[in-house]
Amino acid sequence: MTSEYCIEIFQQSIHDYHVHDNVNTPINNPHTTGSLEHLIYAKNWVDTVQWHLEDIVRDPGIDPVTALHIKRRIDASNQERTNLVEQIDDWFLDEYANVQCKADASINTESPAWAIDRLSILELKIYHMQIEAERKDATEQHKQLCFYRLSVLLEQRSDLSLAINQLLDDIARGNKKMKVYRQMKMYNDASLNPVLYKQKSTID
């Protein structure tokens, strides 16, 4: 698995979503269940749907009830994104389980999956910035600004892609330790969010 291959999967997911461009379109993951490709496609699909939910909920004229419904979807989506990232890290943990780390092996600031998560979001930024840069109804100033921003995003993708490949290579060679911490998000947990467990206590 390389970052370039991840980008190909992200691009396929983004393309597939925009065939219908509807947040209610069910996912049709073309990759084998349980494979890393399947997880990466699913991760980007969730990111893509959430990208558009974030656009919709910012409509100044949105009905408050609809906005709350979408906010709840975004909350659930954030949890699903986290779960998928952790499943991707589990895949890498298994992949490198037999690697003997060197005595001076260092720890990276983030795991491979969280770096891939950033790459997924970056690919969405590139896709949508490209659209903005080529919008026929936009001013020339708007398009030039978006083209500049697009060039920065493409450079960022190149740098991040290289960094991910280097990280995976370092882990495979034992130069870096593969160490993962779970996010332990508290706001979605009814036993850890005081608003939720106090409400439950009142009901009981």
Q: What pLDDT digit, counting tens, does each position of 87-111 carry?
A: 999 999 999 999 999 999 999 989 9
User: For position 159, what pLDDT does the model report?
Assistant: 98
User: For position 94, what pLDDT does the model report?
Assistant: 95
Amino acid at 134: E
User: For position 195, what pLDDT does the model report?
Assistant: 75
Structure tokens, 88:
């991707």
Q: Is the pLDDT of residue 197 over 90?
A: no
Nearest to 23 by CA among 100, 77, 99, 85: 77
pLDDT interval class at 204 (50, 70, 90): low
Q: Is the pLDDT of residue 196 over 70?
A: no
pTM for this predicted structure? 0.91
User: For position 74, what pLDDT does the model report?
Assistant: 97
Q: Is the pLDDT of residue 123 over 80?
A: yes
DSSP state of 104: T
pLDDT interval class at 187 (50, 70, 90): confident
CA distances from 160 to 3, 19, 89, 119 (A): 9, 28, 17, 7
Q: How far is CA 67 from the centre of its chain?
A: 22
Q: What pLDDT digit, counting tens, does each position of 23-80 carry?
A: 999 999 999 999 999 999 999 999 999 999 999 999 999 999 999 999 999 999 999 9
Burial label, 3 (beta-carbon count in 10 A; 0-12, 13-18, 19+): buried
Calculate mean pLDDT across residues 108-120. 96
Structure tokens, 182:
């779970």
For residue 33, what are the contacts with CB-CB under 8 A and spacing of at least 6?
Answer: none
Q: How far is CA 24 from the centre of its chain?
A: 18
Q: What pLDDT digit, counting tens, does each position of 147-174 carry?
A: 999 999 999 999 999 999 999 999 999 9
Calculate mean pLDDT across residues 125-130. 98
